[in-house]
Amino acid sequence: MTNNNPQAEISRPNVILILADDMGFADLGCTGSEIQTPNIDSLARGGVMLSAMYNCARCCPTRASLLTGLYPHNAGVGHMGANLGTPAYQGFLRNDSATIAEHLRASGYATLMSGKWHVAGDFEPRSVDHWRIGDVEHPTPRQRGFDRFYGIMDGATHFFSPHYMLEDDSRVETFPDDFYFTDAITHKAIGMIDGAVAEEKPFFLYLAHTAPHWPLHAHPEDIAKYDGVYAKGWDQIRTARHETMNGQGVFQRSWDISPRDSTVHGWEQEKNRDWEASKMATYAAMVDRMDQSVGTLISALKRLGQFDNTLILFLSDNGGCAEFMAEDGWAKFYPDKTHDGRQITMGNVTGLRPGDAQTFQSYDKPWANVSNAPFRLYKHY
């Protein structure tokens, strides 16, 4: 299409890519969930909802592919962060790949990132003093095309008390008493957008959440919204989500639901129903708060007069996560004290309600089976 008026300027659109972490297909209102996600649902109604897509089943391969447009092996992250000795499995972005930020910065865009990086090698959360941030095997977002960065280098963090965060090239040393990761990265992202608009530059924002990846941490008022909602159990919730998504026409034709995972017992056989319901309520609260942050971001775009000229993309890096948080499993890699010295009870301790800063739990396979309805399996698969 040719513009015959050489004086006419075509405004380049802003682009915001919002990535959820370990969120299942059925966890949004627009895909059948009881979780309250009005802001994301509104984006789906006002735009295009794609109900068929593929990801790379794990956090960092998906992110490497998303950032470069390449198969993860061609981007250097064929598996996870460990360097397995070949360019396809080196665990960090290859230098013969280019990120979307590198391309867009060369085209005059302000390139902004807030959240989780996880394409820069392996890290031991309990040994942050030995991290080699910025060396050849641990490139930062600022070394791969982003003008601004605020967030974490590795794959997960304590939502109230992160073990290591960067702002641009400097470590964040202190955290306010009301710190919560989802809120913080959204607030910083809006500040970055303010700066780009002041400079009259189009912007690309990569808002990479860790929600609702374990650990299960959420604001008490958000958890309270789901108190009692999951007392009916995973069987009824999964069936209700499936019926809703078919009723909403999410798929081109009505799908049958896969059988409950054969290793998951029925809700009627569960002996710790209150605790199990509290885990899913906390997970729901994390998704809810992420949706609230999307609403805050949209309000900022409207305040700045940028909403109508911004392409907003929302997706998840993989499905819901079935990992059981054992004290001697994933939990053993993470600090067992908060930054202000409080002891954290690590792992899924039966009867200990999750959500606050002194817990470190996951919602486990039965609820991941709900998140991924109507599908069979989980993250990893």
Supply the CATH number for residue 241's domain. 3.40.720.10
Query: Of 360, 303, 369, 357, nearest to 24 (Cα)?
Result: 369
- For residue 237, pLDDT beyond 70: yes
Rounded to whole angstroms, the Cα distance separating 74 from 89 reads 9
Residue 3: which pLDDT band, with cuts at 50, 70 and 90?
A: very low
Cα 21–Cα 22–Cα 27 angle in degrees, nearest 5:
100
pTM score:
0.95
Query: Of 25, 377, 335, nearest to 154 (Cα)?
Result: 335
| Domain contains 227 | yes
| Domain contains 207 | yes
The H helix count followed by the E strand count for the chain is 9, 9
Q: What is the pLDDT of residue 4?
A: 45
Tally the domains of the chain.
1
| Domain contains 131 | yes
Residue 6: which pLDDT band, with cuts at 50, 70 and 90?
A: very low
Rounded to whole angstroms, the Cα distance separating 37 from 48 reads 16
Strand partners, 149: 113
Q: What is the pLDDT of residue 10?
A: 60
| Domain contains 224 | yes
- The boundaries of the domain holding residue 361 are 14-371
| Domain contains 378 | no
Q: What is the pLDDT of residue 7?
A: 41
232-249 per-residue burial string, b: 16 or more CB within 10 A, e: under 16: ebbbebbebbbebbbeee
| Domain contains 220 | yes
| Domain contains 5 | no
Task: Give pLDDT tens digits for 295-341.
Answer: 999 999 999 999 999 999 999 999 999 999 988 788 999 999 999 99
- For residue 362, pLDDT beyond 90: yes
Residue 8: which pLDDT band, with cuts at 50, 70 and 90?
A: very low
User: Any residues with CB less than 8 A from the CB of 54 and at least 6 apart, and which?
Assistant: none
Task: Give pLDDT tens digits for 53-71.
Answer: 788 888 999 999 999 999 9
Percentage of the chain lying above the pLDDT 70 cut: 97
Rounded to whole angstroms, the Cα distance separating 230 from 81 reads 35
